[in-house]
Amino acid sequence: MGLPESLLATDQTEAHTARVSNVQFYNVHDGPGIRTVVFLKGCPLTCKWCSNPETISTQQELGLNRSLCTGCGACLDACPQKAISLIKKPCGRREASVDRGLCTDCGDCVASCIPKALTMYGDPMSVEQVFKEFQKDKMFFGPEGGATFSGGEALLHPDFVAEVFALCKADGIHTCLETTGSVSRRALEKVLPVTDLFLFDLKHMDSEIHRLWTGAPNTLIHDNARWLASQGVQILFRVPLIPGFNDCPDNVQAMAAFVGGLDSENIDGIELLPYHAMGTGKYQSLDQDYLLCDLKVPEEALVEALRKEISALGVPCSISR
């Protein structure tokens, strides 16, 4: 199963800039040690539980954090489309409201907002700019930490990632790439020589269930996982643990069998990422519905039981805290 035409087109865009939705310093979750994580926009999947909805579109998007809005109205005149109005809440508080049908995501309003309630997800950054972001905290990385690209799917911009990581490697910075695996083989080949560690997402072993929850089957992902393992690179598989989707014993056992059956000595095992609802506010800031708003976080005892089950099958397994 190939990638959609629209995403293959993105895969071939010019290497020297990419749209960045966020730069996160002092991250201890996405790779070993202390890391700087750069999130790139655009994703081939549409996972129902996604905690970074601002990364799914390849285009820049306006976000409005209502809790920061003071209702000052400064943004109304800044908008050439007259897309922003003030609404009065039942409590009497005034708040900005964006007409998404009129808004072109041009970003002209952002600078007018002193409390920074308005933000633009996806400003273009150059290879050099992103490399400098990675360099800023180099003194804190220590022997383990370093630079991580995440998304969205950073490998929709393989040339960009490869250029930045080549600079990092030349500067002695450890490189780590988080991927959905739903990418072209060319993209993986491009970054392979300059990536120290792949964080490779696995979501469900049944392709049809995978398609229903993520928008794509898992065949390309599993083919890429096998190929990547055959190249001998270091890989840590990561499983977002979503109640009612992939937390049943059958699926967990099938995942352990898949990872355990890969022909490589450089597989670090499986890391479980228990579901959390921290992305909910981002959906609100984009005026998008969050479909899983009633989902509860999994109980610690259940996560620990699954961890033990995977470990008992001979695959090292940890839990992201």
Per CB under 6 A, the list member of 33, 71, 243, 316 interacting with ligand SF4 is 71
Minimum gap (Å) between residue 81 Cβ and ligand SF4: 4
Nearer to ligand SF4, 56 or 79 (CB): 79
* Token code pair at residue 52: 């970074």
Which of 255, 214, 200 is closest to 1 using CA atoms?
214
Question: Binders of ligand SF4 among 49-68, rule CB under 6 A?
Answer: 62
**Strand segments (E) across 89-139:** 94-98, 118-121, 123-126
As separate numbers, helices (DSSP H) first and strands (DSSP E) second, the chain gives 11, 13
Per CB under 6 A, the list member of 69, 164, 221, 286 interacting with ligand SF4 is 69
* Token code pair at residue 60: 């820049």
- Identity of residue 32: P
Binding mask 110-129 for ligand SF4 (x = CB under 6 A): --xx-x-xx-----------
Residue 85 binding ligand SF4, by CB under 6 A: no
- Burial class (CB within 10 angstroms; exposed 0-12, middle 13-18, buried 19+) of 59: exposed
Binding mask 7-46 for ligand SF4 (x = CB under 6 A): ----------------------------------------
Q: CA–CA separation, 89 vs 92, rounded Å?
A: 5
Which of 55, 42, 29, 44 is closest to 283 using CA atoms?
55
Question: Binders of ligand SF4 among 191-230, rule CB under 6 A?
Answer: none
Per CB under 6 A, the list member of 9, 12, 46, 73 interacting with ligand SF4 is 73
Binding site for ligand SF4 (CB under 6 A): 62, 69-75, 78-79, 81, 83-84, 96, 98, 103-109, 112-113, 115, 117-118
